Amino acid sequence: MHISKILEEKKPCLSFEFFPPKTEEASQSLYTNMAELMPLKPGYVSVTYGAGGSTRQLTHDLLVKLKKETDLTIISHLTCVGSNKEETKQILEKYEESGITNIMALRGDPPKGQSHFEPVPGGFLYAYELVAFIKKHFPSMGVGVAGFPEGHPETPNRLKEIEYLKRKVDEGADYICTQLFFDNSDFYDFCERCEIAGIKVPIIAGI
């Protein structure tokens, strides 16, 4: 089920975000913790994508395991870091074959040692380009994007950030999940700016 459909149910929805384990010991710890969380009946869970695409295979393996062994609705994070368009398409094809139909499309942080983000040759510079690519080649996939109630460190002001966010929504994003915030007023102001800008998709508070 697409996340946007879950959000349409208009009832409280709890979700969890997991980081792909890098060792066998970490894997066992993760699955133990997941088993303890399942009685809370999460609406969905997401699996992150390591810096620089460093956990690409680990992310895929965890997603497939969750899909096969649970009834959870699953989101895979996908970034613009370290992959060109053809490689990104291959990743998405694997997800599609595994029944993964929800993607969180992110630009991602610059690789370690780089002060600013630069795409690989033939890659994506902005998250909205990744959103457009997914919607063009995998139109049946649900796509979420990130929002920044406290502003993005690379964006000159919060109004400009809303412009960038609207571009992602205009390219086909189905919902927005915010980054962590510490003051509820920042979130309320963010939602108001989205409404003024004509952004009508659901907004999830990331906490």
Distance of CA 92 to the CA centre of its chain: 14
The Cα 19–Cα 134 span in angstroms is 23
The Cα 11–Cα 41 span in angstroms is 13
The Cα 60–Cα 196 span in angstroms is 38
Residue pair 77/20 in contact (Cβ under 8 Å)? The answer is no
Q: Kindly give the residue spans of alpha helices, DSSP state H, lying in 19-121.
A: 24-37, 56-69, 85-97
| Cα torsion 141, 30, 20, 7: sign | positive
Q: Verify whether residue 25 is a known catalytic residue.
A: no
Marked catalytic residue, from 8, 17, 86, 154: 17
Residue pair 129/162 in contact (Cβ under 8 Å)? The answer is no
Strands (E), 139-187: 142-147, 175-178
Tell me the catalytic residues. Answer: 17
